[in-house]
Structure 1
Amino acid sequence: MKIVYCILGTFNSGGMERVLANKSNYLAQLGHEITIITTDQNNRKPYFPLNHTIRQIDLGINYTENNNTGLIKKLFDYPKKQKRHKKLLTDQLNKIKPDITVSLFDHDVDLLPNINDGSKKIVEIHFSRFKRLQYGRKGLWRLIDKFRSGRDLATVKRYSKFVVLTHEDKDYWGELDNIVVIPNSNSFPIFEPSLLENKIVIAVGRYDYQKRFEDLIEIWKDIQKFAPNWKLNIFGKGPDKNKLQFLIQDLGLSETVSLKDPVQDIENQYLNSSIIAMTSRYEGLPMALLEGQSAGLPLISYACKCGPKDIIDEGFNGFLIDEGDKEKFAEKLLELIEDDHLRKEMGKNSFNHSKNFSEEVIMQKWIDLFNETLSKKI
C-alpha cells in the first residue's frame, strides 16, 4: 500500500510524534510505501528516528509562526494559509497517488475530504472529544473553542474511517457509523520489567496546562514528609517550566523534585523508577502510562478524560483518583511507596497487562482497517 500521513511536524518529542514514528517504521518494514507530509518542519530533523525508506515532504505553511500573535491577525492569516495548504497538499497527493491518506487531526483535517486524489481518507484523533473545551480559555477564545468542538463532529463524519484511542472517548462522539477504536501500542519492547527497588517516582509529559504538574509537585510536599528518601523526576519541556521550577523552590522541594529534559532512552528511565504518576486535566490515551506499564511500574493517575480508565484497572495495576483530589492522590501514592509487596504485585500486573498493547497486536488492527477501507467502493 501507499500510505500518506499528514501532521504539523515530526520534530517534537511528544507522544503523537512517537506513535507516528513507530507506526510508520513498522509499516515500512513490511514493505509499504510511507510518506509523511508536514507543514511546519522547517528543516528540523525528526525527533524519533524514521526508516530510511520513509519519504518526508514539508509544505512550508508555518502555522506556528502565528502562535504568539493576536486573535485578529490569526483570523486574517489562517484562511490564507489554509488556501495555500490545500493547493500544495493536493499537488503532492496527485503526484504520490496514495491508497490511504491519514490525518492526525492537524491543520489538514478540514481540507482532506475535499481533495479528490483517489485515496481513501482516514482521520485519527490523539486527544479526547472535549479537548478544546478543556484548554480552560476564557472570553472570546472560549466561544471559539466551543464552536470548533461542535465543528469537529461534522468534520469526522466526512472521512471513510474515524479512529479514536479509547472506548470511553468513542461514547462521547455519539452514534457514528465510521468510528473505530484502536489504542496506541507500547512505544518500545521491554523484556524484563523494573525491579521497583529504586526510590524514584517518574512523570513524563509537556510542561503545560494539560499535564497539571503543579498538582503533582504540591502532592509531593506531603509525600516528602513521610518518605524523605524518595525522589520525583519529571521529564519534559514546555512553557510552564519556569513556573514549575519556582513552585518547587517555594515549597522547599529542590532536593527531591527534578525537572529533566526529554531523553531518547526514556525506557531506561522507566526501568530505573518504581512508580509512575500522572495528574493531567485531559488526555487521548497517555503514552506515559502505557510506557510505564510496559516497564512494569504500578500506575497512579487522575481519572481524567480520556485514557487512564482504559489502562488502569483500579486496585489491580494501579489507582485512579478523582480529578483534583490531591489528598487522596497523596494517600494512595504513599501507600505504593511504603508497601513493597503491593507495589511489586501491581507492577507485575502492569507488565502482564501491557501485552494487550503490543505493537504486533495494535498494528494488525491498523492493517485490517486499511484493507477493509480499501475493499469498499468509493
Structure 2
Amino acid sequence: MSLNQYKKKKIAFVIGALTPGGAERVISTLSNGLIDDFDVTIITFKKSKPFYRLDEKIQVISCFDKIDKPTSVFGSIKLNYNILKKVTSIVKSEQIDLLIGFITSANIIATLAAKRNGIPSLISERNDPLKKDIPRFWLILRKLVYPKSDNLIVQTEKVKAIYTSMLNHKSITVLPNPISSDLSQLRKNEAKREKIILTVGRLNNDKRQDKLIKAVNELKLEGWKVIIIGKGPNKDKLNNLIESLNLSDQIEILSNIKNIHDYYMKASIFVFTSKAEGFPNALLEAMHFGLPCISTDCNYGPSDLITDGKDGFLVPVNDQSILVKKIDELIKDDKLKAQFSINAIETSLNYTSKKVTEKWKNVINQHF
C-alpha cells in the first residue's frame, strides 16, 4: 500500500472570525475532536486571536488582517467577492479536500469556493431559518447557492422541516451542537452554589435579556444577584435599563469571560429569555453543569433540550407573568432545584463532544 493511501484528508472550516460565540465554540470543539482523523484548517475572513483553545496541529489562515464594514450594497458585493477569491485561492494552495461553512455568509462563500476547486462542501446553518433581520441580499443568495452544497447540516428536526420546504436541497442532515470537551473537564461534582441567577448570550434583540431584568425588578429578590454574560449591540441599552430600575447593585453585565465554567459552577439558577434560537449552546452548557434552567420555548432548540417540569421549565415567549412565576417557584423550592439539576446533567450527556464529533466524522467521510 502506498504512503498516499495513509495520508489524512484535508478539511477546512470557513467562518468570519474566531471571536467569542456559539458557532466559534462549536468549530473549535469539532476541530479539536477531528484532528486525529483529518488534517484540519480553519479559514477566517478576518484575523482574530482564537478565543477558544485549539489543538496546536490545527492551522488557522485569515483572508485579511482586518475588514472595514461596507457602507453600501456595492461595497458589500465587492468585499464578499474579494473574500470568495481569497478563500478559493487558500483552498487551492493548501490542497483542501473538503470545505465546511458555518453561518450564512460563510456557507455561501464555502459552497462557491468548493465548486471553483471541484471539491465537496458541507454547510452548517446555525440560525432560526425564518429570522426577519437577515439582509435580502443573503436571503436570495441562500436560496440560489445552498442547494449547490453537498450537505446542509442543521441542528434540529424542526429546522430541517423548514429548510426541506424552503430549499430544493438533496441532502439535509440533523447534527446537534457538541458540548466543549474542555468545558466538560472543568465541571466538578460538588459545586458551592451561591444566590446567583445567571444568563449567557449575545446582547442583542433575539436574546431579550431585558425580560430577565424586568422580572428581577418585579420579584424584589432579597440577597440574590443576577449575572448577565455576553457582549453585543444592546449592552448600553441594558445597562441603562438596570440603572433606571435602581438595580445596579444587584445586576451585573460581564463581557469576554474566559472562565465561564466558574459562573456555571457557582450560580443556582440559569434563565434563558430568547425569542429566536438555532440551537442554544449556553442553555446546553448550563444543563451540563447541573444548573436548574428556565427557558423560553422559542421555535428551535430549548424544547429539544428541556422536557418541561422534568429537567427544567419552558415558558412561552413574551409571557412575562409566567417567567416571573417560574423564577419565583424555582427560587423557593430547593427540592425542585435538586431534581432539575440531576435530570439536566443526564439530558446533556447526549451531546458530549465525543458523541457529536463521531456523527460529524461519519457525515464528512460520506463525501470522500
Q: TM-score, normalised by structure 1?
A: 0.88
Distance 1:257 1:194, change over 3 A: farther
Taking the aligned partners of 1:356 and 1:2, their CA distance within structure 2 comes to 28
Corresponding residue to 2:22 among 15, 23, 26: 15
- Is 208-217 or 108-117 further displaced after alignment? 108-117
Corresponding residue to 1:177 among 152, 170, 173: 170
| Residue identity matched to 2:100 | V
| Residue identity matched to 1:9 | A
SS in 2 for 1:368: helix
Deviation (angstroms), 1:61: 7.9
In the alignment, does 2:22 pair up with 1:32? no
Deviation (angstroms), 1:116: 2.9
Taking the aligned partners of 2:214 and 2:356, their CA distance within structure 1 comes to 37
Deviation (angstroms), 1:328: 0.3
In the alignment, does 2:102 pair up with 1:107? no
| Residue identity matched to 1:99 | D
Taking the aligned partners of 2:190 and 2:238, their CA distance within structure 1 comes to 28
Distance 1:195 1:61, change over 3 A: closer
8 Å Cα contact 1:196/1:274 also seen in 2: no
Deviation (angstroms), 1:239: 2.0
What percent identity do the matched residue pairs reach?
30
Corresponding residue to 2:149 among 152, 159, 162: 159
1:130-164 per-residue CA deviation (whole Å, 9 max, x = no partner) reads 12x1x3xxxxxxxx745643542443211110000
Q: TM-score, normalised by structure 2?
A: 0.90
1:51 corresponds in structure 2 to 55
Taking the aligned partners of 1:340 and 1:195, their CA distance within structure 2 comes to 15
2:5 corresponds in structure 1 to none
Taking the aligned partners of 1:92 and 1:210, their CA distance within structure 2 comes to 34
Taking the aligned partners of 1:147 and 1:287, their CA distance within structure 2 comes to 28
1:229-287 per-residue CA deviation (whole Å, 9 max, x = no partner) reads 11111111222212111111111212211111232111121011111111112111111
2:4 corresponds in structure 1 to none
Which runs of 5 or more structure 1 residues have no equivalent in the other structure?
136-143
Superposition map of 1:329-348 within 5 A: 329-348=323-342
1:139 corresponds in structure 2 to none
SS in 1 for 2:27: helix
| Residue identity matched to 1:32 | F
8 Å Cα contact 2:105/2:138 also seen in 1: no
SS in 2 for 1:19: helix
SS in 2 for 1:283: coil
8 Å Cα contact 2:100/2:107 also seen in 1: no
8 Å Cα contact 1:8/1:106 also seen in 2: no
2:14 corresponds in structure 1 to 6
Taking the aligned partners of 2:141 and 2:87, their CA distance within structure 1 comes to 22
2:69 corresponds in structure 1 to 66
Taking the aligned partners of 2:66 and 2:255, their CA distance within structure 1 comes to 25
Deviation (angstroms), 1:193: 4.6
1:212 corresponds in structure 2 to 208
Q: How big is the alpha-carbon RMSD for the aligned residues of Structure 1 and Structure 2?
A: 1.9
Superposition map of 1:142-157 within 5 A: 145=135, 148-149=138-139, 151-157=141-147
Distance 1:147 1:59, change over 3 A: closer
Taking the aligned partners of 1:155 and 1:61, their CA distance within structure 2 comes to 27
Deviation (angstroms), 1:350: 0.2
Corresponding residue to 1:189 among 184, 187, 202: 184
Deviation (angstroms), 1:89: 1.6
1:322-366 per-residue CA deviation (whole Å, 9 max, x = no partner) reads 111111001011111100000110111001111100111100100
Superposition map of 1:254-269 within 5 A: 254-269=248-263
8 Å Cα contact 1:201/1:230 also seen in 2: yes
Deviation (angstroms), 1:62: 4.8
SS in 1 for 2:226: strand
Distance 1:37 1:147, change over 3 A: closer
Distance 1:146 1:312, change over 3 A: farther
